[in-house]
Structure 1
Amino acid sequence: MPIVQKKFKKNNSLILLSLLVLLGGCATPPPQNKSNICEIFGENRAWYKATANASEKWGMPIAVPISFMYQESGFKHNAKPPMRYFLGFIPYGRGSSAYGYSQAKTPTWDDYVKDTGRFFASRSNFADAVDFIGWYIDKTHQVNKVAKDDAYRLYLNYHEGWGGYRRGTYRNKSWLQNTARRVDDRARMYQQQLQGCEKDLKRGWLSRLLFG
């Protein structure tokens, strides 16, 4: 291979590596105060816009998917289930393929991508993850007739799957029912908080610059 081609190939590799490092470093960190939706969106106004868009598209309250994300990933873009260990020190894999903000499992995420045609969507992208949750909520409403503001039953479907919910697999899981209640309580709290700040969140950057 000529020297010029070797240098060109090497430079391209370095540029690609630099871009990957840069993109990795630009990942949005979790909000400082996860218990206040106004502060969550105040830190990341793009998150509000993405969630509002998903809310309008799928017909769910804004607070519901945010409560799901709090529970599932703590708003970490690269969240994964903990590693499992044999004999306490030999790693043998994670509990599932769940990944990202929404902790979507690979087969379910693939169904979402095929159903929506969003082939470049990523589980580590907030807007894509919140759209996925909206899609799942809409499907839950269609399949199991759960109201889109019923965070308790929506979360049970999210955790157990549509078939598992119909079979009542959650009934013998008191820990899951308690978790679903916390998700529901948090969604109600978030929705109440949002009433006090959504008007400001809807303001554009120019309005905020001119009027504070």
Structure 2
Amino acid sequence: MLKKFKRVSIFLSGCVVFLPALLSGCATSPPRDSSNLCEIFYEKEDWYDAAADVRDKWGVPIHVPMAMMYQESSFHHDALPPRDYVFFGLIPWGRVSSAYGYSQAKTPTWSDYVRETGNSWADRDDFDDAIDFMGWFIYKSHKINGVSKWDAYAQYLNYHEGWGGYRRQTYNQKPWLKNVASKVKARSLRYATQLKSCEEDLNKNWFWKLFS
């Protein structure tokens, strides 16, 4: 009887250790199909709730920050920028910037966001916080540089170059960046079209979904 009890105890303790790790992995893994916004939100319904909150809070259309986030991190929660190298490119030496997480927000800009919003517990590897940061940045780009919140192309240029860099048109010296911004725009338009086909369903609460 004692041996049987010990085996059960070991099994349960293993579950206690393993289950949180399993759930954590599911919570932070990228969507299986990131090409379709409906599939993203069906797989991760809490992401839709967070994106809808950002839409209501900052007046930002959902498809714009989602397209920008895909470009920045491919929805990897712990995404990092490329390594920097010294000594003729032979020795790795840190990262090329302090960008991190879903939004690839740099540390100084993230600190500005935390200070202005009072979201002191925010983490860059948390989807809700990351998309709220992007909503805040898009809102600020609209206020500072007059860029439409729906203009994914110009919003991405602001996001990459900063508000001052956008005003100085530094992106004109970076044809590759303008090409990337065009890709973000194209993805945002696809996401917008896809979302129209499923948003009504996504807006149903959990109770009604049981009977749909």
TM-score, normalised with respect to structure 1 = 0.87
SS in 2 for 1:198: helix
Q: Distance in 2 between matches of 1:189 and 1:21?
A: 34
Partner of 1:95: 96
Q: CA deviation at 1:90?
A: 2.0
| Structure 1 portions without partners, runs of 5+ | 1-16
| Structure 2 portions without partners, runs of 5+ | 1-16
SS in 2 for 1:93: strand
Partner of 2:161: 160
Q: Distance in 2 between matches of 1:194 and 1:118?
A: 28
Partner of 2:113: 112
Q: Distance in 2 between matches of 1:43 and 1:209?
A: 16
SS in 2 for 1:176: helix
Give the count of matched residue pairs. 195
Partner of 2:80: 80
Tell me the amino acid that sits aligned with residue 93 of structure 2.
Answer: Y
Q: Which moved further from structure 2: 167-176 or 86-95?
A: 86-95
Q: Distance in 1 between matches of 2:33 and 2:123?
A: 25
1:141·1:148 contact (CA, 8 Å) conserved in 2?
A: yes
Q: Compared with structure 1, are the counterparts of its residues 178 and 158 closer, same or farther at alpha carbon in structure 2 (3 Å cutoff)? A: same
Q: Write out aligned runs for 1:164-175 (5 A).
A: 164-175=165-176
SS in 2 for 1:148: coil
SS in 2 for 1:85: strand
Q: Compared with structure 1, are the counterparts of its residues 174 and 194 closer, same or farther at alpha carbon in structure 2 (3 Å cutoff)? A: same
SS in 2 for 1:196: helix
Q: Does 1:30 align with 2:43?
A: no
Superimposed CA distance per residue, residues 49-79 of structure 1 (whole angstroms, 9 cap, x where no aligned partner): 1001101111111100000110000000000
CA RMSD of aligned residues (A): 1.9
Q: Which moved further from structure 2: 87-96 or 130-139?
A: 87-96
Q: Distance in 2 between matches of 1:94 and 1:20?
A: 31
Q: CA deviation at 1:207?
A: 1.4
Q: CA deviation at 1:18?
A: 9.3
SS in 1 for 2:210: helix
Tell me the amino acid that sits aligned with residue 49 of structure 1.
Answer: D
1:27·1:77 contact (CA, 8 Å) conserved in 2?
A: no
